[in-house]
Amino acid sequence: MAQPDKTLNPRHFLGAAIGAAAGSAMGLGSGKSAAVIPDMKTPRKITDLKVMRMSVSPTAKNNWLFVKIETDSGIYGLGEGSLQFKDDALEAELLAFKRFLIGKDPFRTDWIWTSLYRRVTWTGGAVTTSAISAIDLALCDIKGKALGVPVYELFGGAVHEKVPIYANGWRDGSGGTPEGLARKAKEVKAAGYTALKFYPFGGPQVVTQERIDKGIAQVAAVREAVGPHMEIGIDIRARLNIWSARRVAQRLEPYDIAWMEEPIIYDNPETMAEFAKSVRVPVATGEQLFTRWQFRELLEHNALGILQPDICHAGGISELKKIATMAETYYVMIAPHNSNGPISTIASLHLDMCIHNSFMQELLIKYLPRYNEVLTQPIVVEEGSCTPPAGPGWGVDLRDDVLAKYPPVNFTPVESEPYREF
């Protein structure tokens, strides 16, 4: 039987190209003996998928969930699908998908993604798309490592030198008072951040004047504390109905906020679009939408300027790159949602680096010490911006000793979750 022509193997071709470039750099160019380029040992088959969890913090009731996909070459990839308070369902979905993945070519990322999403009888939803997201992230890490490039190079390369960050998770110790929030906001600004987000409006969907006054007092105090040039995002967490949200939006106008996030429940894109058109503050949404198909409908209403897909839930970096490209045709910016763990944060930075319409990247700064404890390279924020750690793939690994140090916590669905009123 004739042997396959290795020159037609893209992996062999790329390996030869990398080797030739290295040889040229060492003086093996024209007029010198060419080096013999051996075939690169690249992954051919997936051999295992493992699920790993760790607690978010000493006081939190939820966990971060990671996947590790191993291959026959010894190269493995890391992904994350952290889905708050849905650990059991997500782990079961991942282990079921594992039976399909064993033996598959890890380089066929798009074919695997589409198989997991389109070849199944039941698809979509938070659990399935979070599992697909985690797998997609791990496969892209494998491919980047095998080819010796950062993941963002797989998606067209860097179009930015750094990624602007907006700080979330900074309110601890404020007491929730205007004075306490102002003090903490000044600390965020002093640390070099140029944007922050917080949650001044809680409670049931029907708002009262007392709740509006309380929330507006917090916004006013933070705006005064940070000055006119720092961007402020106001996250409603979908806690209001449309009547209440419009009243809040009207009261927010004097404070020049950067966006009003998830003002109403996310599952009616036409209503969300009509709301955005009816108010005079920018509206952002998308953290609980999945895949390009759900974002398509929202984009077609031409009403929002900021979309917030989550790389752990909307389909992974492969899908978010497609969502970003769709959004670019509508002149809409992408600010990836990220209330997850360290791999989610790193992967989001890689996405931001390679899309033209990236706006800002969310970072829960209270988790940054634990991120950097479990990562082999730290996430470094300088003057309010960040770049992914250098290296192939994600450029980082997870430390097994730290994973073991912070075992996952148990929780009771519904009762352990933060929402008490609706």
Domain-by-domain residue ranges, the chain?
A: 46-149, 154-393
b/e map 118-155, b = 16+ CB within 10 Å:
eeeeeeeebbbbbbbbbbbbbbbbbbbbbbebbbbbbb
**Which residues make Cβ contacts (< 8 Å) with residue 252, sequence separation at least 6?**
216, 219, 234, 260, 281
If you search the block for the tokens 């080096």, which residue do you land on? 35
3-state secondary structure at position 353: helix
- Summarised one tens digit per residue, pLDDT across range 307-322 is 999 999 999 999 999 9
What stretches in the chain show pLDDT beneath 50?
1-10, 12-40
Q: Provide the pairing of β-strand 361-364 with 381-382.
A: unpaired
3-state secondary structure at position 350: helix
Q: Are 348 and 336 in contact (CB under 8 A)?
A: yes
> What does the alpha-carbon distance between residue 282 and residue 305 come to, in Å, rounded to a whole number?
7
pLDDT of residue 378: 97
**DSSP one-letter code for 282:** -
pLDDT of residue 408: 96
> Hey, how many other C-beta atoms are within 10 angstroms of the C-beta on 392?
17
CA atoms within 13 A on the CB side of 221: 19
Domain 46-149 has CATH 3.40.50.620: no
> What does the alpha-carbon distance between residue 336 and residue 352 come to, in Å, rounded to a whole number?
8
> What does the alpha-carbon distance between residue 61 and residue 357 come to, in Å, rounded to a whole number?
35
pLDDT of residue 4: 39
pLDDT of residue 60: 84
CA of residue 168 relative to chain centroid, distance: 14
> What does the alpha-carbon distance between residue 260 and residue 304 come to, in Å, rounded to a whole number?
11
> Hey, how many other C-beta atoms are within 10 angstroms of the C-beta on 17?
11
- Kindly state the tokens that stand for 372: 């950097």
pLDDT of residue 419: 79
- Summarised one tens digit per residue, pLDDT across range 316-373 is 999 999 999 999 999 999 999 999 999 999 999 999 999 999 999 999 999 999 999 9
pLDDT of residue 11: 52
Looking at residue 279, its amino acid is V
Task: Output the CA angle 85-86-88, nearest 5 degrees.
Answer: 120
3-state secondary structure at position 156: coil
> What does the alpha-carbon distance between residue 340 and residue 376 come to, in Å, rounded to a whole number?
18
Instruction: Locate all alpha helices (DSSP H) within 102-197, ordered by sequence.
Output: 109-118, 125-147, 178-190
**Which residues make Cβ contacts (< 8 Å) with residue 157, sequence separation at least 6?**
354
- Kindly state the tokens that stand for 287: 């953290």
Report the sign of the C-alpha dihedral through residues 297, 299, 304, 310, in that order: positive
Of 216, 268, 262, the closest CA to residue 235 belongs to 262
Return the bridge partners of 143, or none: none
Cα distances from 125 to residues 29, 48, 58, 128, 228, in angstroms, run 54, 25, 30, 6, 40
- Topology at the third CATH level for domain 154-393: TIM Barrel (3.20.20)
| Domain 154-393 in the same topology as domain 46-149 | no
> What does the alpha-carbon distance between residue 237 and residue 324 come to, in Å, rounded to a whole number?
22
pLDDT of residue 263: 96
Dmax (CA) of the chain: 82
If you search the block for the tokens 């894109």, which residue do you land on? 269
Q: Are 301 and 279 in contact (CB under 8 A)?
A: no
pLDDT of residue 417: 87
Cα distances from 270 to residues 182, 183, 266, in angstroms, run 36, 39, 10
Cα distances from 31 to residues 19, 24, 25, 34, 323, in angstroms, run 17, 11, 14, 9, 48
pLDDT of residue 203: 87
- Summarised one tens digit per residue, pLDDT across range 30-82 is 333 333 333 447 889 999 999 999 999 888 889 999 999 999 999 999 999 99
